[in-house]
Structure formats: structure tokens, C-alpha cells
Homo-oligomer: A and B are copies of this chain.
Amino acid sequence: MGSIGEPEVTVLGWWLSMFDPRVRIALIEKGIEYEYIEEDLPNKSPLLLKHNPIHKLIPVLIHNGKSICESKIILHYIDESWMDGTPLLPSDPYLRSQAAFWADYIDKKIYDGAKRIWSSKGEEMQKGGQELIGYLKVLERELGEKPYFMGESFGYVDIVLISYYHHLLAYEILGKFSVKQDCPKLFGWTTKCMERESVSKTLADPKRIYEATIEFRIKSIDIED
């Protein structure tokens, strides 16, 4: 327990990050109170530099003064530190390895496809859209008829993927694809996830994300179209 005035659990985050919501969703699912500190990324705070001196990136979880960095590593830490709450990962080693495999797939592929969309224009941007929908179709096949990625309960892989969802809505417009039409099962899954308070309260407004994505594109590439 922290002493008076010192929160036991603090999250350093940034509203536009697709990695930040993961930590907050997991904490809410576990029923853990936390303080959220929004970073101003162009002007990183001394607190961020102190707690993530290697990468200087959010999200960071600070628990009783100790810092844990990298969103997937933080999810494992939360699951192992608060064992009483709903488990985020299965206990069987094989099922754990499969959950880790799909979370790794999501971060390797979805981020790459998304980057191709927001860092290009015209035909290249649409190719990025096709690439991204291809990866989402792989995830749709893995989901199959299950309510959640690991079976009956919302958990680790769901948290890792749903955190991209409101960004995907921006990429849909730019990359000219539709999760609802192209991946109907995955779309059904997003609807179920969004019904959870942990998710709906945490993901940023998709309109705000879209506007920030457009602004970011204009700054980083010479947009003519």
C-alpha cells in the first residue's frame, strides 16, 4: 500500500496511443484503482524519463514505486500480481503460448499495416488497407465461432486487439476497407468488447483519433491528394 497521498498504482499514458488503453482496461477488469497521468509526448515529463529511461515511451505502470514498461509485459505483470481478480491469461502453458503468439502477431502485423496507411498516399495507401484487412482476416479465422479469442472469457488477446479498434475506424476511411463488411465475425466481437465498461470508458473518441491521424499525416508526409 502507498502512504497517504501516494497512489499505489499509477499509469503514465497518452490518449492517442493504441498501447495505453491496454493497461487501463486490464486494471479496470481486475478492479484495481489507479491514477492516470497524461503525458505531453513532445515534452516528456521527468516522471516518464525516470520510470522509462531506456525507451522513454508510454505506457508505464508504476506499482509501489517500481516501474514496468511495454504494454504486453505490463499485462502479464498485472495478471501475475493480482491473482485474485479475473485471470487475463489461461494457466495452461500451451494455451498461454497461443495467447502470446496471437498478441505478438497483432503487434507485428496490425501496426505495420496501419503504418503503411498513415505514412503513404493514393494507391500505396489503399494497398496498405488491403494488407491490413488481410491480417484482420487471419484474426477473424482464429476467432472463429468463439465469443472471445481465448474462449468464453474476455482476456489478454482481446485486450491487445481491441485497443487498436478506434484507430482501425480511422484507417478504414483512409485505406478504403470495412471491418464490418470484410470481417463480420470480428466486427461482432468488437461490439461485444465495446459493451464492457473497461473498454468503452478507456478507448478515445474515434472522431478525435481520426482528426489527429489526418493531422499527423499532413505533418509527416507531403499530402497532395
- Chain A interface (Cβ < 8 Å from any Cβ of B): 54, 63, 66, 68-70, 73-74, 76-77, 80-81, 93-94, 96-97, 100-101, 104-105, 138
Contacts and interface: CB of A to CB of B under 8 A. Distances in A.
A34 B93 CA distance: 19
B54 A68 contact: no
Please classify the interface of chain A as helix (H, G, I), strand (E, B), loop, or mixed, using the class held by over half of its residues: helix
A76 B80 CA distance: 14
Contacts of A97: 68, 73-74, 76-77
B138 A70 contact: no
A157 to B, nearest CB: 13
Q: Which of A63, A97, A104 has the most CB of B within 10 A?
A: A97
Nearest to A78: B93
How many copies of this kind of chain does the complex include? 2
Contacts of A66: 94
Nearest to A100: B73
Contacts of A80: 93, 96
Contacts of A138: 54
B73 A93 contact: no
A54 B106 CA distance: 12
A73 B94 CA distance: 10
Contacts of A96: 76-77, 80
A129 to B, nearest CB: 21
A100 B78 CA distance: 14
Given A54-B105, A73-B101, A77-B94, 14 more contacts: A54-B101, A63-B94, A66-B94, A68-B94, A69-B101, A70-B101, A70-B104, A74-B97, A76-B93, A77-B93, A80-B93, A80-B96, A81-B93, A81-B94
Nearest to A83: B93
Nearest to A104: B70
A210 B80 CA distance: 42
